[in-house]
Amino acid sequence: MLDTPKQLDYSILESNARLISSSLISFVFNLDSNLCTNLKETKEECSLLLNESINVDRKRLAVWIKLFGSKPRPTNTLQLQLIANLQQVVKKFSHNSVVSEVVINDFVLYEIVEDTLTANIVKPAIFELLLAAGICVYLYGVYILAYNAQKILEGSINKIRRNLLL
């Protein structure tokens, strides 16, 4: 936003545009992403854009940067010169172009913030306290039974022996 065409390094912009275009081509045509790794080791340049007429051109980038960066961008309508230039480029490569009217004011990025209040019915805390007390009594009973299991078993076996011996 604060960059001007004079501050740009066109060699970096060209390499970034070439990287993006190669990535798009490899994604669209499902090419192997490791296609250029062998060439990078030998310091050769690798590009999936083999035809020089469709390759990234520094002069073309400079023209587009001058076109886009020299004037502030309009907010709700595009300038007629920009529309004509884009239509000319599209006709050159696809031989068919249609300009549609677009009103950007209909586009909403953020909706109005809405506050919501939620009320829930909560069980009384006394129910949970009674439930916890019941669980504690049950666990205490199991603990006493396990702690005195040896005495209970010995006493039961002694009673059975006495009854059998009588």
Stretch 94-104: mean pLDDT: 73
Give yes or no for residue 96 having a pLDDT over 80.
no
Q: Is residue 4 part of a domain?
A: no
**pLDDT class for 38, splitting at 50, 70, 90?**
low
pTM of the model as a whole: 0.41
Q: Is residue 115 part of a domain?
A: no
Q: Is residue 5 part of a domain?
A: no
Q: Is residue 114 part of a domain?
A: no
Stretch 116-121: mean pLDDT: 82
Mean pLDDT of the chain: 77
Give yes or no for residue 39 having a pLDDT over 70.
no
Q: Between residues 152 and 84, which one has the greater pLDDT?
A: 152
In this structure, the answer to whether residues 24 and 101 fall within a common structural domain is yes
165: enclosing H helix or E strand: helix 149-165
Give yes or no for residue 78 having a pLDDT over 60.
no
In this structure, the answer to whether residues 68 and 95 fall within a common structural domain is yes
In this structure, the answer to whether residues 80 and 26 fall within a common structural domain is yes
* Model pLDDT, residue 117: 83
Q: Which domain holds residue 131?
A: 125-165
Q: Is residue 75 part of a domain?
A: yes
Give yes or no for residue 137 having a pLDDT over 90.
yes
In this structure, the answer to whether residues 87 and 159 fall within a common structural domain is no
**pLDDT class for 88, splitting at 50, 70, 90?**
confident
Q: Report the range out of 28-37, 65-74, 118-127 with the highest average pLDDT.
A: 118-127
In this structure, the answer to whether residues 17 and 98 fall within a common structural domain is yes
Q: Is residue 1 part of a domain?
A: no
Positive or negative, the CA dihedral 85, 90, 92, 98 is negative
Q: Between residues 135 and 99, which one has the greater pLDDT?
A: 135
In this structure, the answer to whether residues 97 and 18 fall within a common structural domain is yes
Do the Cβ atoms of 58 and 8 come closer than 8 Å?
Answer: no
In this structure, the answer to whether residues 96 and 137 fall within a common structural domain is no
In this structure, the answer to whether residues 129 and 51 fall within a common structural domain is no
Q: What domain count does the chain have?
A: 2
Q: Is residue 41 part of a domain?
A: yes
In this structure, the answer to whether residues 66 and 25 fall within a common structural domain is yes
Do the Cβ atoms of 77 and 70 come closer than 8 Å?
Answer: no
In this structure, the answer to whether residues 77 and 153 fall within a common structural domain is no
Stretch 102-121: mean pLDDT: 73
In this structure, the answer to whether residues 34 and 82 fall within a common structural domain is yes
Residues 6 or more apart from 58 whose CB is under 8 A from it?
Answer: 10, 11, 14
In this structure, the answer to whether residues 101 and 129 fall within a common structural domain is no
